């Protein structure tokens, strides 16, 4: 049985490739962080929680951590964690003898990529965003191929290494499937759905906006809100405090399973979200209009570039986080009404998304023979 190691910061395309490789009977080892540090809260990482329940997938935790933006004591801690991750990955590869390593960016990819290079194990990188991330930039010299989600970053890379595959979405988010959310909403289909999500960890800025404007939104929409682990209880209490007629139009959860996300996006009239590459790809797949608030501190402004890409397709309104703090809901509604989707360009991007898992799996199979 062929063996593949998957590693990196963008867990959604990694999990999508994992699904595709398992169909082809590959043995998968996922090198990742067991915990995520979120506002000093030590929580099990999303990928660890998902993969520990999956058969024939082995999770290998690594201690690597993100690099601080300025030289400090944290820089030495990050350097030490890099060394530990490298040696742990090197020894694991000596034992496992994988056919190929696939890196998905982030601070976990470089130490594993270096170990793969020293052991002459083929390395493939996948870049999920509209700009090449720091982790993939560091690992680029050791990579055989770089699979891109968007063509606009191709000119930054050696042409002989570039393969345009498109972003990888998990199958559950690309289909309409009956779920807990769909059964909950059976009684309330008389209102269009607005979905607000700040990603797996939630967003303080988006949550604050919703808390301020919820009474103005509920008369026109049924609101589905993914609040994040740390804010969930607060918004659950807020829901309980609403009058009964408004409470029935507001559904909140810490996170939603992928199947629920697929159903929600298939039905939503409008989405308010950050502009991570995964979110943008899902919006393109479902052709959903969205108000996007890029994360201000995203590396190289990647979230703003993602948002501008969606806006270029006529599906997105870009609002800065600073603007969001003071803008009224009625102003956002007017901006959304002015959107004019570019159907042909959207269709091309949807075709990339429809074939991306198979393309990347074929590339992995070619180099991991």
Residue 365 lies in a domain: no
The H or E element containing residue 238 is helix 232-241
* Model pLDDT, residue 187: 57
Give the structural domain span for 190: 173-351
- Residue 197 belongs to a domain: yes
Nearest to 136 by CA among 164, 159, 166, 156: 156
Residue pLDDT, tens place only, 305-351: 999 999 999 999 999 999 999 999 999 999 999 999 999 999 999 99
- Residue 199 is assigned to a structural domain of this protein: yes
In a domain, 358, yes or no: no
For residues 296 and 149, membership in a common domain is answered with no
Element (H, E) at 124: strand 123-127
Note whether 220 and 151 are same-domain residues.
no
Tell me: do 292 and 238 sit in the same domain: yes
Domain identity same for 265 and 209: yes
Phi, psi of 322 (to 5 degrees): -65, -40
User: 304 and 205, same structural domain?
Assistant: yes
My answer on whether 8 and 71 are in the same domain is: yes
273 and 301 together in one domain: yes
pLDDT value for 38:
52
pLDDT (tens digit per residue) in 152-205:
655 678 889 999 999 999 888 898 877 777 766 655 567 899 999 987 778 999
257 and 153 in one domain? Answer: no
263-314 residue pLDDT tens: 999 999 999 999 988 899 999 999 999 999 999 876 668 899 999 999 999 9
- Residue 363 in domain: no
pTM of the model: 0.85
How many CB atoms sit inside 10 A of residue 269's CB? 15
CATH of the domain at 205: 3.40.50.2000
Clarify whether residues 244 and 331 are in a common domain. Answer: yes
347 and 226: one domain? yes
CA angle 111, 114, 117 (to 5 degrees): 155
Domain count for the chain: 2
**Both tokens assigned to 71:** 């030289």
pLDDT at 132: 85
Contact 124, 117 (CB under 8 A): no
Name, of 107-111, 247-251, 360-364, the range with top average pLDDT: 360-364
């Amino acid at each position: 049985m062929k063996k593949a190691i998957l590693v990196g910061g963008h867990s959604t395309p990694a999990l999508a490739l994992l699904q595709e490789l398992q169909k082809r009977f590959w043995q998968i080892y996922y090198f990742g962080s067991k915990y995520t540090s979120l506002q000093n809260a030590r929580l099990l990482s999303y990928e660890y929680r998902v993969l520990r329940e999956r058969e024939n997938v082995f999770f290998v935790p690594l201690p690597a951590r993100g690099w601080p933006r300025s030289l400090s004591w944290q820089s030495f801690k990050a350097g030490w964690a890099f060394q530990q991750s490298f040696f742990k990955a090197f020894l694991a590869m000596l034992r496992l003898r994988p056919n190929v390593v696939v890196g998905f960016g982030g601070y976990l990819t470089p130490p594993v990529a270096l170990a793969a290079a020293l052991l002459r194990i083929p390395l493939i990188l996948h870049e999920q965003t509209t700009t090449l991330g720091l982790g993939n930039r560091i690992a680029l010299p050791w990579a055989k191929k770089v699979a891109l989600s968007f063509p606009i970053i191709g000119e930054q890379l050696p042409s002989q290494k570039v393969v345009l595959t498109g972003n990888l979405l998990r199958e559950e988010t690309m289909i309409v499937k009956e779920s807990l959310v769909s059964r909950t909403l059976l009684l309330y289909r008389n209102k269009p759905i607005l979905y607000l999500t700040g990603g797996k960890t939630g967003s303080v800025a988006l949550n604050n906006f919703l808390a301020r404007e919820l009474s103005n939104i509920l008369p026109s929409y049924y609101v589905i809100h993914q609040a994040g682990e740390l804010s969930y209880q607060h918004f659950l209490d807020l829901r309980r405090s609403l009058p009964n007629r408004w409470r029935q139009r507001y559904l909140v959860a810490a996170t939603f399973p992928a199947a629920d996300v697929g159903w929600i996006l298939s039905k939503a009239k409008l989405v308010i979200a950050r502009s991570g590459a995964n979110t943008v790809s899902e919006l393109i797949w479902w052709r959903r209009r969205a108000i996007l608030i890029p994360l201000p501190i995203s590396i190289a402004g990647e979230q703003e570039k993602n948002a501008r890409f969606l806006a270029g397709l006529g599906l997105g309104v870009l609002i800065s986080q600073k603007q969001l703090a003071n803008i009224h809901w009625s102003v956002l509604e007017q901006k959304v009404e002015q959107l004019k989707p570019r159907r042909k360009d959207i269709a091309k991007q949807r075709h990339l998304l429809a074939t991306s898992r198979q393309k990347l799996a074929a590339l992995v199979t070619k180099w991991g023979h």
